[in-house]
Structure 1
Amino acid sequence: MSVLRRAETWEISESEEETDVETKPDSKLSDSGRTTTTEAEHHPSSNHKRKTPSATGSTSGQTSALAPPRPHGSVAASPARKRRTREEVEADRQRAGERKEERERQRAAKAREKEERRQEQQRRREAAEELRSVRPENCLKSLTVRIDPALLQQDGSDILLDSLAAFEWRFSIESQQLPHSITWTRDLPQVLVYLQLCKNISVVFLNGWQEVTNHVCAVTKALSKRPFKLLTERVELPFCVDGSWASGARVERDGSGLIQVWCKQIQQLNRVSPAVASTVTAAYPSPQLLLQAYQSLGSEEERKGLLAGLLVKSGGKERRLGPEMSARVYRCFTAQNPQLVLD
């Protein structure tokens, strides 16, 4: 006999508490399980068959509750942008700083080269200007002839002033330290031209104003040419003899060539021509023979005139060697004073 029984209140309440804890999908499964249990109580004969689906349904509900939630939306999200590390940022910053420093170095090198080129051009310009200033035509512009007024009180002195004015040279009339004198000055910080005279005073005895005028003009021209001449004649060995005949002579082991050396040694003296040197070397083939000839003579006058009277042949003409040349050669080979002037 079958008896229908209503479910107790505690059974429903217990099922509702479990439903509150689980998720919404699990609620449906719990209700299904609860219904199955109730039906199982009404039908004891089918209890074994009903419990198996309930257990399966409960396991499925627990598995669904543990599964992670699915992402919202059916489209997959794009991969995120890769972020640079701090080392990469520092490396990029260092490379940028190096590029900046390289640009600064190149800019400084260009500026330095530009400054060097400018300085080189300035040096060349100054050298060219200095060369132009020492030329005679330009040096004349810096010279001034200073005439003492007492000198112009004599008759005929106007010839000097007229000549200076005609050449357009600068001159001034002013009192000098030495009365009746003429001096020359140049607008330069350092004097480049000097005259080797006693106490820096030049004394010249002239007859008439025409000779004075000629002398002043000659000295003025000489002073204007002197700086340029010194510049062009500047050499490392100024004591060497100039000229095509001043080259050395080759001496062989047998002694050939010594006569040429002896001849050139005599030519180093002032105003000794190759013809005069050949005449002396022909009479005395070596310096030792000449010194022996000087020692054989008893007086100084005889030694000085030893070479006087020798016959010199030059250009088809013949002449005698003078006593002045003979005395110069004697002083050259016998003098003991190194500061002695031969002429």
Structure 2
Amino acid sequence: MSSNIDKNKKKLDRLEKQALGENQRIIKPGECMKYMTVEIDSGCLSVELLGTSITSVLATNQIQYKIRSNLIQHSVIWKRTLPQNLISSSQNELQLSEKIVQEKVLLLLMPAKDFIQHVKSKSLLNEIKTIQQMFSSDYTFELMICGLKSYCTRNRGAVGRTESEFALSEIQLQANCCHRLLESSEEVGQVIQQYTKSIAERPYKEQKAEKYEKENFYLGNDSKDCVRVQNGIGLSRLWQQQLIKLPNVTLEIAEAIISKYPMPILLVEALEKSDSKETLLADLSIRRAGGPLTTNRRIGNELSRKICNLFMNEDPSSNI
């Protein structure tokens, strides 16, 4: 009896790991776009500037989309399909059922004519706030004004530039709603494509950032100029590399410092004991090259002060 329970437990553990691996796979760049659907309000297709060119851009880039009647007219929203992992204890099998999640981002595509009317009646801020009240406070809203430049060219004097800029500044400051000015349906399609990619990759990037924040050291994306240290071998090279990373520190300067202080701790101890910390390294001689015509020069007061500041200053906001 107990052996059967152990077998079932091991099988369920294995299935859980498989489910976790599947969840990680679908949020990775390259895979995540397959699980995104753009839902475009049907009213967008009747707008002169927009039309079906938007969907052509999305189809060309293999982005899934739906034309439907959204809650907000002329809006674009995103939905993500997630596998909801269910483990059946009776059959010991992993079952996946789709779960649709709406992303908390909304684009409002406003034709230039509607924007001009809101500016004239000073109702743009109220319009944006009314829309925001229909959603939770953690939603992001972006206003896309379509064809404003061409509309103003055809209808000169329709509205003043100062009035338009004031209305846009007002919604940004009071409603935290940014805006873009778009002049073609291709631009609108490209913006929707950019947002789709950004929204799709957000869970992966947030997970990656959270992981790095927990680390106590900096993790680079490449191994350029890295020094391998093993069993104490490579420490001198690492110390040299650390010094060279400092501004104005050449290989010759680093070698001069290392010849006097082979390890960082020795330099720190010398600085702590010195009465003239900032000039401790100033008189160190730098040998430029070999041969009878070789000239020597000093590290100098300025670089000595900067190196002292780097190792001794405890203020994190201080400039080196």
Do the structures match in fold with TM over 0.5? no
Q: TM-score, normalised by structure 1?
A: 0.39
- Determine which structure has the larger helix proportion and give its number: 1
Q: TM-score, normalised by structure 2?
A: 0.41
- Determine which structure has the larger strand proportion and give its number: 2
Structure whose alpha-carbon radius of gyration is higher: 1
